[in-house]
Amino acid sequence: MFGVHAPGEDVSRLTFYGLYALQHRGQESAGIATSSKDKPEFDLRTGMGLVSQVFDEEDLAFLRGDIAIGHTRYSTAGGSMECNAQPIIVHDHETGASIALAHNGNLTNFEVLRDDLVAQGIEFHTNADSEVIAHLLAIAPFGTWEEKFRHVMRRVEGAYSLVIMTKDALFAVRDPMGVRPLCFGRLNGSGWVVASESCALEHLGIEMEREVLPGEVIQFDATGMKSFFPAPEPRWGGACSFEYIYFARPDSRFMGKLIYPVREELGAQLAREYPVEADIVIGVPDSAIPAAIGYAHEAGLPYREGLVKNRYVGRTFIQPSQRIREAGVGLKFNPLPEVLEGQRVVLVDDSVVRGTTTPRVVQLLRRAGAKEVHMRVTSPPIMWPCFFGVDMATRSELIAANKTMEEIRDHIGADTLGYLSVEGLVKSTGQEERKLCNACFTGRYPVDVQMQMDRMGVARREPVLAAAESLNRAGGS
Per-residue pLDDT of the chain (477 residues; tens, 9 = 90+): 999 999 999 999 999 999 999 999 998 999 999 998 888 899 999 999 999 999 999 999 999 999 999 999 876 555 566 888 999 999 876 677 899 999 999 999 999 999 999 999 999 999 889 999 999 999 998 789 999 999 999 999 999 999 999 999 999 999 999 999 999 999 988 899 999 999 999 999 999 999 999 999 999 999 999 999 998 887 777 899 999 999 999 999 999 999 999 999 999 999 999 999 999 999 999 889 999 999 999 999 999 999 998 876 554 444 455 555 455 555 788 999 999 999 999 999 999 999 988 999 999 999 999 999 999 999 999 999 999 988 777 899 999 999 999 999 999 999 999 999 999 999 999 999 999 999 999 999 988 887 676 665 555 444 343 333 333 333 332
Strands (E), 353-392: 372-377
Q: Are 24 and 58 in contact (CB under 8 A)?
A: no
The residue among 71, 94, 95, 97 whose CA lies nearest residue 84 is: 71
Q: What does the pLDDT read at residue 249?
A: 95
The residue among 360, 341, 340, 285 whose CA lies nearest residue 315 is: 285
- Other Cβ atoms within 10 Å of 88 Cβ, number: 27
Helices of type H across 45-95: 51-54, 57-62
Give the domains, in start order, of the chain with CATH numbers.
2-234 (3.60.20.10), 242-473 (3.40.50.2020)
169: which residues sit within 8 A by CB, 6+ positions away?
5, 67, 145, 219, 220, 221
- Other Cβ atoms within 10 Å of 94 Cβ, number: 9
Please tell me the pTM assigned to this model: 0.89
Q: Are 212 and 174 in contact (CB under 8 A)?
A: yes
The amino acid at 53 = Q
Q: What does the pLDDT read at residue 469?
A: 35
Phi, psi torsion values for 326, nearest 5 degrees = -65, -40
Instruction: Return the DSSP state at 247.
Output: I
The residue among 82, 80, 79, 102 whose CA lies nearest residue 90 is: 102
> How far, in Å, CA of 111 to CA of 175, rounded?
18
Q: Which phi-psi region, left, alpha or beta, contains residue 200 (left: φ > 0; alpha: ψ -120 to 50)? A: alpha
Q: What does the pLDDT read at residue 100?
A: 97
> How far, in Å, CA of 315 to CA of 357, rounded?
11
